[in-house]
Every structure is written in C-alpha cells, then in structure tokens.
Structure 1
C-alpha cells in the first residue's frame, strides 16, 4: 500500500464498491462505464500524490469482482459506503471528495447520459460527501 498510510485497503474497496453501485444503479453495467473508471483512475487519481498504483488497483479489482459476481444490490453497496465514510470522515478531504464525485459522474454519464436511478444516487452522494 502506498504513499499515505491513512488510506487502507478498506478505503479503496469501499470506493470501488461505490463506483460499482453507481454503474449498476440502472441494473446493468456497460463496458463504457468500466472503461471510464479505468481511465479516471489512471488520469485523475494517479495524479494526486496521496495514492499509488497498487492501492488504486484495489478500486478496479473491487469493481470487477462485484461486476463478475453480479449479485449485489447497488443501494446496499451505496449505504455501506456512506457508513464507512461516516466512520472515517478524516479521509474525505475536499481533494478526495472531488475525485470521488468526478469519477462517479463520469461513470454515470459514460453510457447514454445519466438515467434517473443514477441521478438519484449521484445527488444523494453529493449531499453526503459535502456534509461536514
């Protein structure tokens, strides 16, 4: 694990689960959504000095595992992420929050724009992440 010891594997797994929840909110995950996630990790997330490649790979691995299993309720995954965020508030700085929101929005917009399910989840996420 890498550059900042505060960010554990659990952090990256929760973020990967959140991104899967966003992608699966409409009950299907499109290949464009997976591609956008990978591109976001390599372009935006890696440019932040807090994270290293190995740690960020956990996001993609978690997303891929959930996609392969295809038996998780997106709303349950979302709620699990929110519980984690509320327990580990110190990790969710403005930089981290912005990265999460940018990536979540990019995933939701990657295939035929955002649908109602994704919009609702994104709106709830933005409210939750901006809470003090």
Structure 2
C-alpha cells in the first residue's frame, strides 16, 4: 500500500499512462479497451491492498482521467506514455513489488485482448513491459 499522498496520485496517473500506451499502441483506442479498464479497476485492483480503501475513488479517477485525457488530447503517442511510465517506475522501484507487477501485466494483457485479441503492436509493448519487470526483479 502506498502511503504518501502525492506519490499515490503520481502512481495512479502513471498507471493511466501505461494503460493508455497499451490501448494506443496500434494507434487506435477503442471503447472496448476503456470499458475493460474500468471493469478491471473495480474487479481486480480494488480487491487488493494496492489501492487502499481510503483512496479507491481517488485512484480510480486518477487512472481513468489520465487515460481519458491522453486519449482526448491526442498529443502524446503510445511510446511516449510507455517511456514516461518506465521512467516513473525506475524512480519509484519500491512501489513495484511482484504483486503490483503481476497485476499490471494481467491488466495490460486484458486491455490488449479486449478488442479482437492482441495485435502485433500490443504484443511488442507487452513483451517490452514484461522484460522491464523481469529486469527490475533481477536487480533486487
């Protein structure tokens, strides 16, 4: 569970960036991908201690609003958002334990599969993320 309020918000916003990056990796974000994200936040993320009960609504809003803003603004591409998430992760390694990493990987895989299965662009980004988390685990 994340303690510091500012770090919590940044954590949630960066999850929104990553989830957007996966959905946008094929240059098209579909409604099914956003709907899947909303479902997964309620179903999977709230059932863990990653988002504590005091900040569930705040966490959900930060993730979804970041995703929506990136999609509506269309200023940042998937790769930029992915790299921003990786930078945040690298600077906040303590937040990314194996449970968090596992849940992130499950979430991005389900987002990618939510519309006609996973395509090549999504698979490449998923593989890069998986390698990044494995690298992180090996550094411990």
TM-score by shorter chain over 0.5: yes
- For 2:109, the equivalent position in structure 1 comes to 105
Q: Is the Cα contact below 8 Å between 2:22 and 2:111 reproduced in 1?
A: yes
How many residues align? The count is 130
Q: TM-score, normalised by structure 1?
A: 0.93
- Structure 1 runs (4+) deviating above 4 angstroms are none
- For 2:122, the equivalent position in structure 1 comes to 118
Q: TM-score, normalised by structure 2?
A: 0.88
Distance 2:105 2:65 in 1: 19
- For 2:66, the equivalent position in structure 1 comes to 62
Residue 77 of structure 1 pairs with residue 81 of structure 2: yes
Q: Is the Cα contact below 8 Å between 1:46 and 1:53 reproduced in 2?
A: no
Unaligned regions of 5+ residues in structure 2, if any? none
- For 1:20, the equivalent position in structure 2 comes to 20
* Higher share in helix: 2
- SS state at 2:58 partner: helix
Q: CA deviation at 1:94?
A: 1.1
